[in-house]
Chain A
């Protein structure tokens, strides 16, 4: 809809914009984008490309447990990245694990952005007592490391609900816990931008012509703060994936029955001393590759959207 409108006004089409121009000229961004895309595609297509279905217990052959990479098992299966203690194919487990990590990471970033944007818009536009209270809470929360907050929320929820309920709710709880530890950044940034936008003519004009406050917030101011939100969201995606992996690693995240990158490393950690390094190094390497690609992409996006920062 909006794309059509711009084209009709004769404005540059999206592929002629600065963003695309910058992108094609930056080799690092291209590499980062390519590897991010590759990992995301492989993870999303795990059901199609993984040699075995890790979520299906029948695919595990205990007889093939803890085989090193590149070996063929007693069952005649070939394992490119080896197998885990239950005889699951590591390559398949990594692909399914990446899918889980990406889904948890992306959902928590979306939820955090949603909470942060709404609170930031409302606080910045209406100010007053609500603003004071929410921003004070944000200040306090900011003085605690995000990972600690996610850990405590997740851990306390675990103790509150019984085990069966928890296993069913583990992933939503994890998403909420990570989102709750990241919303502050969005809220503060959006609020700051709203304070600036509020004084501009187009907002004043909308106010004078009697547009309702909610409409001003949602359709006049919001589009102008989304650029910064996008940058924070990209940076946060890598952080959220790392947080999920860390929580799953210490044993309070994704339940062991559904592999994520963190819980796979955790399984491997127990067998490190037998010299079975591939069980934790494989998923670990995938985690690093994913986070590094997303981080590089985020760096480039920040510089491209905000040229003032690029020399900093």
Chain B
């Protein structure tokens, strides 16, 4: 168990170092950082002083070490486009993306699990077939197109819901702004989170259905039925509980995907989150912001993967046995 955790930790560390190296190369060699910071009229001596102040006259290894130190202390440089510290910008945008992602995941889970259970239990009903066929089309629909169709129907034609922005937001504490506490904020959240959650919902639904069908075929379900247990107890207490183990893992892993596709959804709905910021910074060649995003996203993914791996081991004892066996075999 300890070796497993260590192995995963070292992998996460490797990812972080690679991301830091990439962002270092980006910062150091794309354009001239000095040129980007001093004006056109700066003299050569000024430039030299700036170069020294930024530490650019030092060996590359020392510069990289300095970058690692900066990242560790949360100093990510200044955005070329906004002229304010990148860390401040990222923190401003993070709540919007997190609220969107969590809501999308909630929608996907709260709709996907019951639909999956229902289609598994009523395997031959017409409704099940319709739901399954619809989910196939849902998989083929690209996220941005779902967003556009939802905007067209609910904002342009029906005029029920707003199609862009976060609505009115409320400050929570020092650095968190939330749209969850106002009516307009909640209304603004509906379409984006639905767009982001729809694909995950079909995925979760199909997974739950497949797992449930598998479990319903096992001997202990037959035995439970033979014992005369009520159908509801068998379905929900025995079957569903065992179905949920792999589902939890998949939900965890899908968080990464949600995060990636939030970039697309934020572009469609002009949602002021991290994704929109990144797309804009790509178009404006805002190198410090891009470099920091790289490190931030590597950190996020390393954390998610680590958490999912550990959760998996904690939930399912068979994995523990498997990794032990694999270790002794190799």
Contact = CB atoms under 8 A, between A and B. Distances in A.
Q: Do A and B come from one complex?
A: yes
Interface of A: 136, 139-140, 143-145, 147-148, 151-152, 155-156, 158-160, 238, 242, 245-246, 249-252, 262, 265, 268-269, 272-273, 275, 277, 280-281, 284, 287-288, 291-292, 295
B268 A147 contact: no
Residue with the greatest number of chain A CB neighbours at <10 A, chosen from B256, B285, B301: B285
Contacts of B207: none
B245 interface: no
B76 interface: no
27 contacts: A144-B301, A145-B259, A145-B260, A148-B260, A155-B278, A159-B26, A160-B26, A160-B30, A238-B140, A242-B142, A245-B142, A251-B279, A252-B282, A252-B283, A265-B144, A269-B144, A269-B148, A272-B148, A272-B151, A273-B156, A277-B152, A277-B156, A284-B145, A284-B149, A288-B145, A292-B137, A295-B140
Nearest to B139: A295
A144 B256 contact: yes
B109 interface: no
A280 B147 CA distance: 11
B287 interface: yes
A265 B260 contact: no
A252 B284 CA distance: 11
A159 B145 contact: no
Please classify the interface of chain A as helix (H, G, I), strand (E, B), loop, or mixed, using the class held by over half of its residues.
helix
Contact of B279 (A160, A250, A273): A250
B145 A155 contact: no
Given A246-B144, A265-B148, A291-B140, A275 B156 contact: yes
A158 B282 contact: yes
Please classify the interface of chain B as helix (H, G, I), strand (E, B), loop, or mixed, using the class held by over half of its residues.
helix
Nearest to A143: B305
B264 A145 contact: no
B15 interface: yes
Nearest to B143: A246
Given A151-B263, A159-B26, 13 more contacts: A136-B11, A143-B15, A145-B257, A145-B261, A156-B22, A242-B142, A249-B144, A250-B267, A269-B268, A272-B148, A284-B148, A284-B149, A291-B140
Contacts of B142: 242, 245-246, 249, 284, 287-288, 291
Interface residues of B, number: 43
Nearest to A266: B144
Contacts of A268: 148
Contacts of A295: 139-140
B267 A152 contact: no
Nearest to B11: A140
A280 B26 contact: no
Nearest to B144: A249
Nearest to A247: B264
B102 interface: no
Interface in B261-297: 261, 263-264, 267-268, 278-279, 282-283, 285-287, 290, 294, 297
Contacts of B84: none
B14 interface: yes
Interface of B: 11, 14-15, 18, 22, 26, 30, 137, 139-145, 148-149, 151-152, 155-156, 163, 256-257, 259-261, 263-264, 267-268, 278-279, 282-283, 285-287, 290, 294, 297, 301, 305
B141 A288 contact: yes
B282 A147 contact: no
Contacts of B155: 273
A158 B282 CA distance: 7
A193 B282 CA distance: 40
A139 B15 CA distance: 11
Nearest to A146: B260
B271 to A, nearest CB: 13
B283 A251 contact: yes
Contacts of A275: 156
A136 B12 CA distance: 12
Nearest to A141: B15
Given A140-B14, A148-B297, A159 B285 contact: yes
Given A159-B30, A242-B142, A147 B260 contact: yes
Nearest to A154: B282
B137 A159 contact: no
Contacts of A144: 256, 260, 301
Residue with the greatest number of chain A CB neighbours at <10 A, chosen from B30, B139, B140: B140
A262 B148 CA distance: 12
Contact of B11 (A139, A155, A156, A287): A139
Contacts of A292: 137, 140
Given A156-B26, A287-B145, A246 B287 contact: no
B229 to A, nearest CB: 29
Contacts of B285: 158-159
Nearest to B297: A148
